[in-house]
Amino acid sequence: MKRVDDFFKRYEQAANSFDPVLTASLYTEQFLAADPNGVQCGRNDPALAQAMAARQQFFESLGFQQAKVLEVTATPLDDNYTMAKVHWWMRFASTGGEAQVFRFFITYFLYDPGNGPKAAFWISHDDERQVMLDAGLIDAEGRPR
């Protein structure tokens, strides 16, 4: 599972750097993303780079400090596909001086055509927006507090 471990090392790096080139290298040409609110289709195109820039700006406005992969449990499904259950840790600086730490659980389905895995579909088991709202990081409209 070295290829999967290496993939998530790069994924963690992208989550912290918001590097659009690195991020694009991690996804298939088309991909699906799901959370408790439903499923969205995405394309690995210039809009993805724009979305990463917007995410970086938004996260920085919330005091984002770090994202870290805590654990990866990978299950090969066949020669091309692997399911990876990943536990994430994220830290945001609190306006009150104390950091807020969050844990997220995401299941990824990786596709490897032979040159390394890429994310084709993932399910975020937590509603990231609701977690941020409950923690007081954002208001009901999704704006930073």
Give tens-digit pLDDT for 31-51.
999 999 999 999 999 999 899
120 pLDDT higher than 70: yes
Domain ranges of the chain: 2-134
Phi-psi region of 38 (alpha: psi -120 to 50; beta: other; left: phi over 0): left
Tell me what the mean pLDDT of segment 118-139 comes to.
92
Give tens-digit pLDDT for 47-93.
998 998 999 999 998 899 999 999 999 999 999 999 999 999 999 98
For the chain, give the mean pLDDT.
Answer: 93
Tell me what the mean pLDDT of segment 109-116 comes to.
96
CA distance 85 to 72: 6
137 or 114: which carries more pLDDT confidence? Answer: 114
Q: How confident is the model at residue 7 (pLDDT cuts 50, 70, 90)?
A: very high
CATH 3.10.450.50 fits 2-134, yes or no: yes
Q: Cβ distance 35 to 123 under 8 Å?
A: yes
